[in-house]
Amino acid sequence: MHFQGKRVCVPDQRVLGLSSRTNYDPSTSVTSTTEAEASTPAEPSPSIDWVDIVATIVMAFAALATAWSAFQSDQWGDTMSFSLSEAAAARTESTRAFTRAGQLSSVDVSTFIAWLEAAQSELAAGEVDLSDGYVPDAASLSGFLYARFRPEFQAAMDAWLATRPLLNPDAPPTPFVMDEYQVAEAAEAEQLQELADEKAALAHAADDNDDKYVLSTIIFAGIFLFAGLSTKMRSRIGQNMMLGFSIVLLFGGVVYILNVPISV
């Protein structure tokens, strides 16, 4: 077709994908799309699974309790180690003090025996007068030995001589049974032995507390197991059983560690 000398091209309906027998109606297409969307069911909104939430809370508390138990176990383990070391050191010093005390006692016994023999010889020879008690004479052998007594033994010796042992048959047999006879090293050894016993008892108590916190760690590990299983069970009954058991273990474990001493 020609209009005023210009050619107008009419598109072929086959190219446009339209049949000459089909009339395209946009309103019909929109209506069909709307009906299709209306016929499609809406997706349900996800529901809250309280088992997962409670299990997560239980495991969070179990994690905190496990960390606390591990920390306390380490603290009590250190206390046990330090106490055992102190007990061993105290026993070593106590043994050393006992040995020194035994050596000093042997010196006292030896000097006393030598003095007694000298005093009896002088008494038999009439060189000393015991009517007013023993008065040491530096020029005599007994006086020489008396001047060399240890100060601790000399105090006991003076108390013994005051009972007139060479003349009084009721006097104590030796100065070593007198209350005045004391060996400082022996008393120190006793104190060190008591300290060693106290440190050993503290070490045993720390070991017991360490074991208790290790046991609580195992309890809280079981909580993780049962709480985790509660989220994997298919049946609701199984979920509730596992979750309930984990909650019971959690409360029991918390009560247990509250009764165990804390190491700071």
What angle (nearest 5°) sits at the alpha carbon of residue 202, between those of residues 196 and 204? 105
Write out pLDDT tens, residues 44-60. Answer: 555 567 888 888 999 99
pLDDT of residue 235: 85
Domain count, the chain: 1
Measuring CA to CA, which residue among 221, 165, 196, 5 is closest to residue 89? 196
Write out pLDDT tens, residues 97-118. Answer: 999 999 999 999 999 999 989 9
* Residue 47 Rama label (left phi>0; alpha psi -120 to 50; beta): beta
Task: Look at residue 27 and tell me if it is in a domain.
Answer: no
pLDDT at 24 over 70: no
Chain Cα centroid distance, residue 172: 53
pLDDT of residue 4: 45
- What is the span of the domain harbouring residue 132? 50-79+87-258
Measuring CA to CA, which residue among 124, 116, 91, 103 is closest to residue 203? 91
For residue 64, what are the contacts with CB-CB under 8 A and spacing of at least 6?
none
d(C-alpha 39, C-alpha 28), whole Å: 17
d(C-alpha 145, C-alpha 113), whole Å: 10
Task: Look at residue 126 and tell me if it is in a domain.
Answer: yes
Confidence of residue 248 (pLDDT cuts 50, 70, 90): very high
Alpha helices for 183-235 (secondary structure H): 184-230
Task: Look at residue 194 and tell me if it is in a domain.
Answer: yes
Task: Look at residue 192 and tell me if it is in a domain.
Answer: yes
* C-beta of residue 162 within 8 angstroms of C-beta of residue 116: no
Task: Look at residue 208 and tell me if it is in a domain.
Answer: yes
d(C-alpha 96, C-alpha 99), whole Å: 5
Task: Look at residue 263 and tell me if it is in a domain.
Answer: no
**Strand, coil or helix: 155:** helix
Task: Look at residue 108 and tell me if it is in a domain.
Answer: yes
Task: Look at residue 13 and tell me if it is in a domain.
Answer: no
pTM of the model: 0.64
* C-beta of residue 213 within 8 angstroms of C-beta of residue 146: no
% of the chain residues with pLDDT over 90: 53
Judged by average pLDDT, the poorest of 60-74, 114-128, 204-218 is 114-128
- More confident call, 74 vs 3: 74
Q: Which helix (H) or strand (E) holds 28?
A: helix 26-39
- Average pLDDT of the residues in 158-179: 88
d(C-alpha 116, C-alpha 122), whole Å: 10
Confidence of residue 77 (pLDDT cuts 50, 70, 90): very high
pLDDT at 23 over 80: no
b/e per residue 11-45 (b: at least 16 CB within 10 A)? eeeeeeeeeeeeeeeeeeeeeeeeeeeeeeeeeee
